[in-house]
């Protein structure tokens, strides 16, 4: 593996970049039915937590105390305590929950149910189902606007980004995007929504106010078939300057300058990279590589892959809780 | 066996219980556009397809169920776009004129018609007066001639051709270094065409046909009680005294003998083609690229597995839905132009976009290789390169085509 570095070199890189927060990264292993916990300071695997079948979507509560995991094959959501690193509860999630997100006040959980074309709302205190918004076929990607008022959900077979009013649970707009949209992410200023389209091969940038596509980003990697460049994960740095796009079977992360929309660099990571997460200080990006069963660590300031960490079978998503806010 | 049956029945009940969808608030439409209605035609052959294994006997709604499933998906999108899709289906009676049947569908408003017809009937429909007003989607005929000498500007081929299926299979056999091929061909016309495609493919990619044998259809009862004992003696005798070979390629579209070959050949060799390892556009065991979603959706609704013909129907229906979503289904020429444009990229659970070959209106697509239980591989295989698209290593390529679209 060309991106492997010796432990010594990694420590040097860490020293150069400054230490990360003392926190853990949680990785959902879709086929391993486990959550791998990585200590972010040492970038070492710390624990493996067994959960139910087909864990995929993950979200951290705003108080950083709980990570919720969607368990697609048993139609449930599990809660993991970020201190004890143990499952602390579980509840019914409706059919085939795939991705999760949460309201900024921590009161409502949003779930895309891939098999029933629904965006479901749960009261997080009571775990009660509040209602749902009917979406297109195979809902997947989820994003909440920074002000918490709008949810964007993508549907893979209907090829839409649905804008949903978080309070009324009603659809505000349906934006047709390129083929098989997978993930949506708001820019930190809330002005744009970036939607990755796996088969279309693009990032469709939607103006959050007019709800129209304003630009498309395409990717080109010399020596690679265009069909193998399939945008999936979208991660924005907290300052809104950089976006990291996972390119699936291209085994690469594209680092994109948000303002100019230009790809700064393609970084070779593990095989079939799904989703990724930035450390709370934005110094490292960790990627879940579905086929090579590992997590690649990217030094954000150097735009270099500095390490890979073996995790469970078919890692799919990653979340990294930050320091808890009072 | 009893355990399996019990599991199947329990599974069936589970499916029925799950079939009631959780209704949520209904979606709201964009703007105040008047609703558009699309009637999609479905024209079926009169003949029943045959099979050796009772597991392969086609369901009454084979193909049409796939089209209906595709229309369901279109209608979900349609709820947001103000579009409605409905199916007008017609099954030909023996001897019925396909052109007249197409005219009847056209009179019901169908401009887009899915056709599961034999080659001759398909051409009759395409060349009829109603054909001039419709765009046909060939979902059931693999014949090369429809894509070559007899190609038509109003027929889009969603079903892969015999050459595409053969190339998908041969690429894998050669990747396995199984070069020496023994061809066994049936005595019907379509068997000979399938054998020709397999032989052409072997030559193209560097395989070697070491011998060809013909299995004459003597009209024996396929699954008669005494049949099994007879077959057990017949097949080893038929396949003995062959020169050394790696794989037996069976060309038996008529389903007369191929599925009797595995485990009964004189030499211990694998079988491919019409039995054993079979190239196809879909398999119910296929679960890559999100396919599980579609399989489950289909199984919940129709309480059976999704076949290749169903998938061809689904794909054609989704092509029309995709054109409609892009405002390109107002008339047949707009739709055709859209399918040929670079904007068209269909997601169909094959791991890459499907597009249309502009020289003969054939849908580019990967080919699955099924052993009847699992998908063994998906072609094109790595290493088969193409300057434009690796998918064009499957089937007749632009420089080889005899098609002149008018």
Taking only the tens place, the pLDDT of each residue in A82-127 is: 999 999 999 999 999 999 999 999 999 999 998 889 999 999 999 9
Res B25: pLDDT: 43
Chain B contact present for A199, CB below 8 A:
yes
pLDDT in tens, B53-80: 999 999 999 999 999 999 999 999 999 9
User: Measured between beta carbons, which residues in chain A are less than 8 angstroms from residue B389?
Assistant: 227
Residue B4: pLDDT above 80? no
Chain A contact present for B345, CB below 8 A:
yes
Residue B14: pLDDT above 60? no
- For residue B32, what pLDDT band results from cuts at 50, 70 and 90? low
Q: How far B41 CA lies from chain A's nearest CA (Å)?
A: 22
Res B232: pLDDT: 86
Compare CB distances from B325 to A159, A169, A227 and report the shortest one's residue: A159
Higher pLDDT, B39 or A224: B39
Mutate to test the interface with A, among B17, B26, B27 (most CBs of A within 10 A): B27
pLDDT in tens, B95-140: 999 999 999 999 999 999 999 999 999 999 999 999 999 999 999 9
Contact A290, A298 (CB under 8 A): no
Mutate to test the interface with B, among A156, A199, A229 (most CBs of B within 10 A): A199
Residue A144: pLDDT above 70? yes
Res B218: pLDDT: 78
Residue A18: pLDDT above 70? no
Contact flag B390-A171 (C-beta cutoff 8 Å)? no
pLDDT in tens, A194-231: 999 999 999 999 999 999 999 999 999 998 988 899 99
- For residue A2, what pLDDT band results from cuts at 50, 70 and 90? very low
Res B16: pLDDT: 41
Mutate to test the interface with B, among A111, A129, A134 (most CBs of B within 10 A): A134
Contact flag B347-A137 (C-beta cutoff 8 Å)? no
User: Measured between beta carbons, which residues in chain A are less than 8 angstroms from residue B73?
Assistant: 137, 157-158
User: Measured between beta carbons, which residues in chain A are less than 8 angstroms from residue B325?
Assistant: 159, 176
Closest CA to A70 of A48, A52, A50, A89: A52
The pLDDT > 70 percentage for chain B reads 89
Chain B contact present for A171, CB below 8 A:
yes
CATH class of A7-319: mainly beta
Chain A contact present for B24, CB below 8 A:
yes
Res B223: pLDDT: 54
Res A10: pLDDT: 55
The DSSP-derived string for B298-356 is HHHHHSS---HHHHHHHHHHHHHHHHHHTT--SSHHHHHHHHHSTT--B--SSSS-B-B
Q: Domains of chain B by range and CATH?
A: 28-160+282-365 (3.40.50.2300), 163-280 (3.40.50.2300)
Res A201: pLDDT: 96
Compare CB distances from B73 to A94, A137, A178 and report the shortest one's residue: A137
Residue B387: pLDDT above 90? no
- For residue A42, what pLDDT band results from cuts at 50, 70 and 90? very high
Give the pLDDT mean for B305-310: 98
Give the pLDDT mean for A145-157: 97
Least confident residue range of A176-185, B15-24, B151-160, B267-276: B15-24
Please say whether the dihedral angle defined by the alpha carbons of residues B142, B148, B151 and B156, taken in this order, is positive or negative: positive
Chain A contact present for B293, CB below 8 A:
yes
Q: How far B76 CA lies from chain A's nearest CA (Å)?
A: 6
To the nearest 10°, report the CA torsion of A120, A124, A129, A131. Answer: -50
Chain A contact present for B346, CB below 8 A:
yes
User: Measured between beta carbons, which residues in chain A are less than 8 angstroms from residue B23?
Assistant: 134
Q: What is the mean pLDDT of chain A?
A: 93
B278 CB burial (10 A radius; 0-12, 13-18, 19+): buried
Closest CA to A190 of A217, A172, A163: A163
User: Measured between beta carbons, which residues in chain B are less than 8 angstroms from residue A183?
Assistant: none
Contact flag B352-A133 (C-beta cutoff 8 Å)? no
- For residue B388, what pLDDT band results from cuts at 50, 70 and 90? confident
Residue B18: pLDDT above 50? no
User: Measured between beta carbons, which residues in chain A are less than 8 angstroms from residue B351?
Assistant: 227, 249
Residue A59: pLDDT above 50? yes
The pLDDT > 70 percentage for chain A reads 93
Contact flag A133-B389 (C-beta cutoff 8 Å)? no
Residue A14: pLDDT above 60? no
- For residue B15, what pLDDT band results from cuts at 50, 70 and 90? very low
How crowded is the C-beta side of A255, counted as CA atoms within 13 Å? Answer: 21
Residues B126, B335: Cα–Cα separation, whole Å: 17
Compare CB distances from B347 to A113, A114, A199 and report the shortest one's residue: A199
Higher pLDDT, A13 or A168: A168
Contact flag A95-B18 (C-beta cutoff 8 Å)? yes
Contact flag B325-A198 (C-beta cutoff 8 Å)? no
End-to-end C-alpha distance for chain A, whole angstroms: 43
Chain B contact present for A173, CB below 8 A:
yes
Chain B contact present for A224, CB below 8 A:
no
Q: How far B25 CA lies from chain A's nearest CA (Å)?
A: 6
Rounded to an integer, what is the distance from CA A294 to the centroid of its chain?
16
Chain B contact present for A145, CB below 8 A:
no
Residue A5: pLDDT above 50? no
Q: How far A135 CA lies from chain B's nearest CA (Å)?
A: 7
Res B219: pLDDT: 74
Rounded to an integer, what is the distance from CA B12 to the centroid of its chain?
26
Strands B155-157 and B180-186: unpaired
The pLDDT > 90 percentage for chain B reads 83
Chain A contact present for B221, CB below 8 A:
no
Give the pLDDT mean for B143-157: 98
Chain A contact present for B56, CB below 8 A:
no
Q: What is the mean pLDDT of chain B?
A: 91
């Amino acid at each position: 593996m060309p991106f492997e570095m010796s432990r010594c070199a990694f420590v040097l890189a860490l020293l150069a970049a400054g230490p990360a927060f003392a926190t853990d990264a949680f990785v959902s292993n879709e086929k391993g039915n486990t959550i791998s916990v990585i200590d972010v300071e040492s970038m070492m695997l710390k624990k493996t937590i067994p959960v139910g079948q087909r864990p995929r979507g993950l979200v951290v509560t705003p108080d950083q105390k709980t990570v919720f995991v969607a368990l697609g094959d048993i139609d449930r959501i599990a809660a993991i305590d970020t201190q004890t690193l143990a499952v602390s509860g579980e509840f019914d999630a409706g059919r085939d929950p795939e991705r999760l997100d949460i309201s900024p006040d921590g009161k409502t959980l949003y779930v895309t149910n891939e098999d029933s074309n629904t965006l479901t709302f749960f009261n997080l205190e009571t775990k009660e189902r509040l209602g749902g918004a009917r979406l297109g076929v195979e809902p997947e990607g989820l994003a909440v606007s920074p002000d918490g008022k709008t949810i964007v959900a993508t549907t893979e077979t209907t090829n839409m980004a649905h804008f949903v009013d978080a309070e009324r649970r009603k659809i505000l707009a349906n934006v047709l995007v390129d083929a098989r949209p997978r993930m949506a992410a708001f820019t930190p200023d809330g002005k744009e929504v970036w939607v990755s389209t796996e088969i279309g091969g693009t990032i469709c940038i939607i103006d959050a106010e007019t709800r129209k596509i304003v630009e498309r980003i395409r990717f080109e990697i010399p020596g690679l078939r265009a069909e193998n460049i399939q945008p999936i994960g979208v991660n924005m740095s907290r300052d809104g300057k950089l976006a990291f796009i996972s390119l699936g079977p291209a085994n690469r992360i594209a680092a994109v300058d948000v303002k100019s929309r230009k790809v700064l660099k393609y970084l070779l990571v593990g095989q079939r990279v799904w989703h990724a997460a930035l450390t709370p200080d934005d110094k490292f990006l960790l990627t879940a590589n579905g086929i090579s069963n590992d997590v690649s660590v990217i030094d954000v300031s150097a735009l270099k892959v500095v390490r890979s960490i073996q995790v469970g079978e078919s890692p799919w998503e990653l979340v990294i809780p930050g320091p808890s806010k009072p | 066996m009893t355990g399996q049956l019990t599991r199947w029945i329990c599974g069936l009940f589970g499916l029925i219980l799950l079939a009631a969808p959780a209704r949520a608030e209904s979606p709201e439409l964009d703007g105040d556009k008047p609703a558009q209605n699309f009637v999609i035609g479905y024209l079926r052959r009169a003949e029943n397809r045959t099979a050796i294994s009772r597991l392969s006997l086609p369901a009454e709604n084979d193909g049409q169920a796939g089209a209906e499933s595709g229309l369901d998906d279109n209608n979900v999108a349609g709820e947001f776009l103000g579009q409605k899709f409905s199916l007008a289906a017609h099954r030909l009676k023996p001897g019925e004129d396909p052109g007249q049947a197409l005219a009847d569908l056209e009179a019901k408003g169908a401009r887009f018609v899915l056709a599961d017809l034999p080659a001759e009937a398909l051409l009759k429909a395409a060349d009829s007066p109603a054909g001039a007003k419709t765009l046909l989607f060939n979902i059931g005929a693999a014949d090369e001639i429809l894509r070559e000498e007899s190609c038509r500007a109003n027929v889009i081929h969603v079903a892969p051709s015999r050459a595409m299926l053969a190339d998908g299979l041969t690429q894998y056999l050669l990747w396995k270094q199984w070069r020496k091929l023994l061809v066994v061909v049936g005595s019907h016309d379509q068997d000979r065409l399938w054998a020709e495609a397999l032989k052409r493919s072997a030559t193209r990619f560097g395989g070697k046909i070491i011998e060809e044998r013909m299995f004459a259809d003597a009209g024996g009862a396929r699954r008669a009680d005494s049949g099994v004992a007879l077959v057990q003696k017949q097949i080893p005798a038929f396949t003995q005294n062959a020169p050394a070979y790696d794989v037996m390629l069976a060309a038996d579209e008529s389903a007369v003998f191929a599925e009797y070959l595995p485990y009964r050949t004189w030499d211990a060799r694998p079988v491919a083609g019409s039995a054993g390892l079979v190239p196809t556009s879909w398999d119910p065991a296929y679960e890559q690229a999100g396919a599980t979603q579609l399989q489950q959706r289909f199984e919940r609704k129709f309480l059976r597995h999704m076949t290749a013909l169903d998938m061809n129907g689904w794909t054609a229906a989704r092509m029309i839905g995709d054109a409609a979503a892009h405002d390109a289904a107002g008339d047949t020429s707009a739709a055709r132009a859209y399918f040929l444009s670079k904007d068209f990229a269909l997601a169909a659970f094959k791991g890459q976009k499907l597009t249309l070959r502009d020289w003969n209106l054939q849908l580019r697509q990967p080919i699955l290789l099924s052993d009847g239980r699992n998908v063994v591989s998906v072609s094109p295989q790595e290493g088969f390169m193409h300057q434009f698209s690796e998918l064009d290593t499957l089937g007749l390529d632009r420089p080889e085509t005899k098609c002149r679209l008018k």
